A and B are shown apart, each in its own frame.
Chain A
Amino acid sequence: MLFWFVAALLTVGASLAVLLPLARRGDDERAAESNDLEVYRDQLAELDRDAARGLIQPAEAEQARAEIARRILQADGRIAESTPKAPAGRMLPRIAATVAILAVPLVSWGIYAGIGSPGLPSQPLAERLAKNPADSTVDELVARAEAHLAANPSDGRGWDVLAPIYLRLGRYGEAVNAYRNAIRLDGASALRESGLGEATAGAAGGLVTEEARAAFARALELEPEQPKARYYLATALAQEGRTAEAKAAWQAMLAALPPNSPWHAATAQAIEQANSELAAAETPPAPGPTSEQVEAAADMSEEDRNAMIQTMVAGLDARLRENPQDPEGWARLLRSYVMLGDKQAASDALARGRQALGEDSDAARNLVALAGSLGLPATE
């Protein structure tokens, strides 16, 4: 609203700059040649000053004076000859004036309508970070927490809050760092240790490494029934190929879980998978490409890594072409392409994803927001 008001005001101001001089009365034609006379008179005065100061010889001064006098005579002659220009007809200037006055609002509003985004408010960073958290995007909340922690790096609670968010966003490296800070400042707890384990595993592409296992073990020391730690330790067994032991561990865990625990489904699924794996003997299922694996590739050699990432991303892309109703998949594909530096493919994936999920669906909107946070401009 304010914008339209200011824009209208500016337009009026600009139009007045054209209109007012045109509307003024009075006729003021003048002889233009008088300027030359002023210059020559000035030169004569300067000559006199120089001569008085002795800067030029009297003979030279006399010569120069004669020359300037000659020019003055010439200029006088020209003024006498010159006749004022006959004013042109009355119609033409009026038409020109009307066109000019109309041009200002028409051209400006016309062009602005084509290239402007009048509905878009300015978004200074400080203001975005200070507004009501309920209206903020996840990225803004994270940036806010980061800014807070940059100023107060010894705020353990801040790290504690931020760490699981990083984990959910798949920013595992930062999550590891945040959990470590929280543990260092506020002491170890089962939740923090198991979170650290999960982040460490995530950073390794889902592989429960020695380091992650140590974190989970510490969590179990603090709270023997901690489900996340138990779940991942069982996963570690499965990853080593000790599927039967893993299954047993999951079963034991399932038995001990309280009835309303969110871990029921995941654990049951893991057991089922273990069962089918045991049944299919030694044919492990090909894992689908995850962004964790993409990051895990960091440890491999250059060529292996590139090859692996390319294959996985291509696989994911192909799968999404067949089965596009997968918001998570699109998000992963987008992130993968951006990580690979293939902007073109990322924008392409964004467009396809939005189309598949329905332009106005929440899922599509989330995808656009993700693209924005990855530095990918939204293309219309």
Chain B
Amino acid sequence: MVEIGHFALVLAFALALVQSVLPLAGARSGNARMMATGGPVAITGFVMVALAFAVLTLSYARSDFSVVNVWENSHSLKPMLYKITGTWGNHEGSMLLWVLILTFFGALVALFGANLPATLRAGVISVQGWIGAAFLLFILATSNPFTRLTPAPIEGRDLNPVLQDIGLAIHPPLLYLGYVGFSVCFSFAVAALIDGRIDAAWARWVRPWTLAAWSFLTGGIAMGSYWAYYELGWGGFWFWDPVENASFMPWLAGTALLHSAIVMEKRSALKIWTLLLAILTFSLSLLGTFLVRSGVLTSVHAFATDPSRGIFILCILTIFIGGSLALFALRAPTLTAGGIFHPVSREGALVLNNLFLTTATATVLIGTLYPLVVEALSGDKISVGAPFFNLTFGPLMVPLLALVPFGPLLAWKRGDLLAVGQRLMAAFAGALLVVLVTALFVDGASVLAALGVGLAAWLVFGALTDLALKAGVGSVPVGTMLRRLAGLPLSVFGTTLAHLGLGLTTLGVVGVLSFESENILSMRPGDTAEIAGRALRFESIDPVKGPNYTEDRATFALLDEAGQPYASVVSAKRFYPVRQMPTTEAGIRTMGFSQLYISIGDQTADGALVVRIWWKPMVTLIWLGALVMMGGGAVSLFDRRLRVGAPARRRKAASGRPGEAAA
């Protein structure tokens, strides 16, 4: 059984080799049959990797310790959910998940790419094949999850306790769907460059893939941030850690790509730039994979890293990024420039957006790689942390956020800034009111904090204004307005939701940064503490036995004004004996959008417990906003226009095999 998975993986590699060569050769030589192999081969390759992945998952579920990977990362007493998620909670398994998602996207292109020109489709599938072949070779040569162990030990060494959490079930798959989803945009760009032709339709085909990948990545990053927030027990939601930056850079570049692809589709402008962004976005994804997997940078999130494997990924990285950029340099000059536009216009706004976003990406990139460069040049070891990013990234983001509401209101080609300003008066007045209310009525609010809240409100009101104007609020009767609203394309709602979500996230970040309160003290059972006007009593600490751990569980009661407990919060210190590892389980209670966060530390000499309590106002908005953004992407994805694409390609045969339709 295990060996069938192993064989399927090898077979997938062989198929990826064929997929790399045959369709592209067909496209170059005008051979339709060779091009037609792309679809079936990509789908079969996906089926093989899926089979291998299913077999590995089954080995985990059944605790088959004759598989080294299972023995190293599982334990028979682990709850079933963590046995299954443990499949990708380690280097080998997570690389297999990476390739599974890559081939999944390749198969999707094969299935839904029926309306693409045959040569472009063949090219895209081939480029996907290159990436697939490279990473399958990497897995088979350096990180084979199917290596066997004989005789099989009777018990495994358990999964890192920090990873034994529901977060592992959601975060890596979502993140990889995002990371790897951008490979499709990359393949489209490279295929277009090989083809030497790029047109308005190209942008329309790339956009849904960008949207899908971007939505997944948004969700993945948000989920990862929330996971680190509650699991590490430090109460932080973003550490500017290299691994976090590694996922954030493709997100920033992908956001830029999302916007520039609109210009390309609508106005045939920014073609070359959009191509370059598509290449850069996936290159940053590859760089992220390299940083995370190789452990060249110290990170609080890096697990199971291995520098020797890093070299291999570095080679893949060099070949793909270097090769695609060289191809770009060679072919880009032959592409024709598109429509012209006035600086003050929708296009101009989107260019400005791209300028800010790519500059921000570059600062994050420099901050992340600078320690590596310095160490290579001078041998000094330095670290670049939050202070750097606050100083560089912050100033770039604030003007960008302030400009966001203008963009969707500007007309294409030539806009009228004054008219747009007038339309935004209501939103601006609303935001101003929020600033005043915050500054005057919220205790301890600084001017900066009030302005931050105002900025968030400006984003939210601005997004709603756009929708209201498009629906004709105030200028037409209510009935007409509702009909108009219902008739708006889904992508308009997508834009509104995404910008609204951005506002909510901003509000969450400002809320936590400006109004958070924190209290570290040592407590004995019966002691009370005060945090942000709330009283808290330490009730007791009790030992509890879990399935594969023991824990000391501290119970805290929230007291009302009469001193009566009305809710309790439990925070724990766990110990996993197999790995000899303690973990902290933070106690979190959500109240409205805010959270009370309690994390317990060691016992002091006289038996008291060190307790750290935070009041985190609006903190959940950080992730809820991201979910709203993700929802915006999804709504946009279902826009009829994107799905229709170039619809009228009549299918020649009535056969239902989608893979053949475009052949």
Contact = CB atoms under 8 A, between A and B. Distances in A.
Interface of A: 3, 6-7, 10-11, 13-14, 17-18, 20-24, 26-30, 32-36, 38-40, 42-43, 46, 53-56, 60, 63-64, 67, 71, 75, 84-88, 92-93, 96-97, 100, 103-108, 111-112, 115-118, 120-128, 137, 139-140, 142-143, 368-369, 372-373, 375, 377-378
Given A38-B201, A97-B34, A373-B153, A103 B140 contact: no
Main secondary structure, interface of B, reads helix
A178 B25 CA distance: 70
Contacts of B574: none
B8 interface: yes
A338 to B, nearest CB: 12
Given A14-B44, A36-B199, A87-B29, A111 B1 contact: no
Contacts of B663: 21, 24, 28
Given A38-B647, A111-B13, A143-B154, 19 more contacts: A11-B11, A18-B15, A21-B33, A39-B646, A93-B31, A100-B22, A106-B14, A112-B6, A116-B3, A116-B146, A122-B2, A122-B64, A122-B67, A123-B64, A124-B59, A125-B62, A125-B65, A139-B154, A375-B153
Contacts of A137: 151
B395 to A, nearest CB: 35
A367 B551 CA distance: 38
Contacts of A34: 646, 649
A20 B38 CA distance: 11
21 contacts: A3-B3, A18-B15, A21-B660, A22-B34, A33-B199, A39-B200, A46-B641, A53-B484, A55-B470, A60-B412, A75-B199, A87-B31, A93-B33, A97-B22, A112-B6, A122-B59, A125-B63, A126-B63, A143-B154, A373-B154, A375-B153
Contact of A36 (B11, B200, B641): B200
The 4 closest A-B pairs by CB, nearest first: A124-B62, A38-B646, A85-B30, A17-B44
- Size category of the B interface is 35 or more
Nearest to A117: B148
Contacts of A27: 32
B68 A377 contact: yes
B36 A115 contact: no
B652 interface: yes
B339 A67 contact: yes
B117 A124 contact: no
B506 to A, nearest CB: 28
B152 interface: yes
A20 B39 CA distance: 11
B32 A108 contact: no
B218 interface: no
B153 A372 contact: yes
Given A3-B3, A3-B4, A93-B29, A108 B151 contact: no
A26 B153 CA distance: 57
Contact of B641 (A42, A121, A377): A42
Contacts of A118: 3
B57 interface: no
Chain B CB within 10 Å, residue with most, of A54, A100, A118, A137: A100
A142 B354 CA distance: 64
